[in-house]
Structure 1
Amino acid sequence: MFVDRLLVAPVHLRLGLPQAALAELYGVDRSTASAAVREVRPLPAARGFAVPGRPGIRLRTLEDLFACAEAEGVELRIDGTEVQVRRPKAGRPGRKAFVSGKRKQNTIKTTTFSDGQGRTLFSGVVRPGRMHDQTAVRAEGIAEQFRQHPAVKAKVDEGYRGLANEFPDQVDAPSKKPRDDAPLGEHHAWREQRRCQSSDRIHVEHTNAEYKQWRPLQRFTGRRETYPEAHPSIAGLVSDRSARRGTRHKPSTEPVLARPAPC
């Protein structure tokens, strides 16, 4: 039935059940379950991401994200996350491209953009695990968006140091650690500044952690070619839930999408 076909893909995305198990659950053939997943899975990915307080607006591209952030005065939080995937077969071209230098596993990376309350605004920029976050900034046009929207500001981690150096008035990264022979006061000031910056940026870490509650984003066992479709599908559904819920971490008296006060 149509309703069953509509539910198969969300169940598959949420629980990561094999398609043979889905077929047994719904009493159909495995090929029928597979076809339902292929047909329905692109739909939430194509819908884009919800904007809190703006029910009729969906963000589908980086251009939409930065235009909305500039118009609404939202200070973005940016962070990358990676998910383990299947190891390519021996001898296949580009096999080493998926080996993450950080996790020492075959992974796929994505970049998440959230607001100051940890609500998903955009998640994508999919690339192999070997590619550094800073390289993705250049390759996928994130730096160009900052150049086109000079009013947009963001907080990032140490991995985006190059982006912060290029746009010092827009991108806030942790300050560099003082030399070992620096005065003790400089070390105390550096630790306090880093703690304050991490406190402002931690919300995007919570957003990535919410994605990992979905089984396929803990370890993706499907074909790597389908990951660029599965990830935005899940992230889009998470954005719908977080936009309706408002803030996830603590009650706030700030207006929707307002820029949070500095630490």
Structure 2
Amino acid sequence: MTTAAQVEWIVTSFSARAALSHPAFCGFDRAHLGDLIEEVAGPWAAQRESVLQERRGHDRQRAAGAGPNHQLVFVDRVLITLVYLWLQLPHAALAELYGVTRPAVTRAIHEIRPLLARRGFAVPQRPGARLHTLADVFAYAEAEGVDLRVDGTEVQVRRPRAGRAGRKAFVSGRKKQNTAKTTTISDSSGRLLWAGADRPGRMLGSRSAVAV
């Protein structure tokens, strides 16, 4: 029997999905978003099954889909990751939208980002072309005469655990908070070409970093 809390969670998730699938939040029109979700679904399922099999130590004994329900289904995991990359919303804010915990959002982003990175970033008006690293971006800009806009967006993060090496590097001298910086590069029209090179808030970005 569905409880009132479960109904409220379902409604909250549906409302959040409807809002975040708008291009203003995720950066994709809905047709393109559907294609992206379909493309990433297979690799995500294979990656997840590999992790589960390694954890179990043997092949699956129950039918696919059996077991506890996820707080965030695959589509919502993709949306959350895209919105985070596009707008740099804090994990806590995305968790509030879906009515889930912050760690659930963090896990979702950590699952989906590597899949998007392997897929690469699309090049405007160049179907099939993909940019995977900063070197790809600068080579494309030089070859095509494209002016690049580089931004090191700084986002507040949870304080790293005690004893972690480099913990103090997360304390931003400008914001006086624990932050992380994600380097984003766009063309002169503001179209995103690459995002990655995550670094602690006190550190500067680097051209030598690879996409994550």
- The TM-score with structure 1 as length reference comes to 0.41
Give the whole-Å Cα distance in 1 for the aligned partners of 2:197 and 2:146.
20
CA deviation string 1:206-261 (max 9, x = no partner): xxxxxxxxxxxxxxxxxxxxxx99xx6xxxxxxxxxxxxxxxxxxxxxxxxxxxxx
8 Å Cα contact 1:5/1:36 also seen in 2: no
User: CA separation of 1:92/1:42 partners in 2, compared to 1, >3 Å: closer, same or farther?
Assistant: closer
User: CA separation of 1:65/1:51 partners in 2, compared to 1, >3 Å: closer, same or farther?
Assistant: same
Identity %: 54
User: CA separation of 1:35/1:119 partners in 2, compared to 1, >3 Å: closer, same or farther?
Assistant: closer
1:8 aligns to 2:76 (yes or no): yes
Give the aligned residue type for 2:131. L
CA deviation string 1:12-35 (max 9, x = no partner): 3347237x9469xxxxxxx9x998
Q: CA deviation at 1:56?
A: 0.7
How many residues of Structure 1 are paired with residues of Structure 2 in the alignment?
Answer: 132
Structure-2 residue corresponding to 1:107: 179
Structure-2 residue corresponding to 1:54: 126
8 Å Cα contact 1:9/1:41 also seen in 2: no
Secondary structure (helix, strand or coil) at the match of 2:190 reads: coil
Give the whole-Å Cα distance in 1 for the aligned partners of 2:182 and 2:108.
26
Q: Which has the larger radius of gyration?
A: 1
Give the whole-Å Cα distance in 1 for the aligned partners of 2:199 and 2:121.
20
Secondary structure (helix, strand or coil) at the match of 1:117 reads: coil
Q: CA deviation at 1:5?
A: 4.2
Structure 2 residues not aligned, in runs of 5+: 1-63, 66-71, 84-92
1:141 aligns to 2:202 (yes or no): no
Larger relative contact order (C-alpha < 8 A, sep ≥ 6)? 1
Q: Which one of 161, 168, 172 corresponds to residue 96 of structure 1?
A: 168
Give the whole-Å Cα distance in 2 for the aligned partners of 1:36 and 1:110.
18
Q: CA deviation at 1:115?
A: 1.0
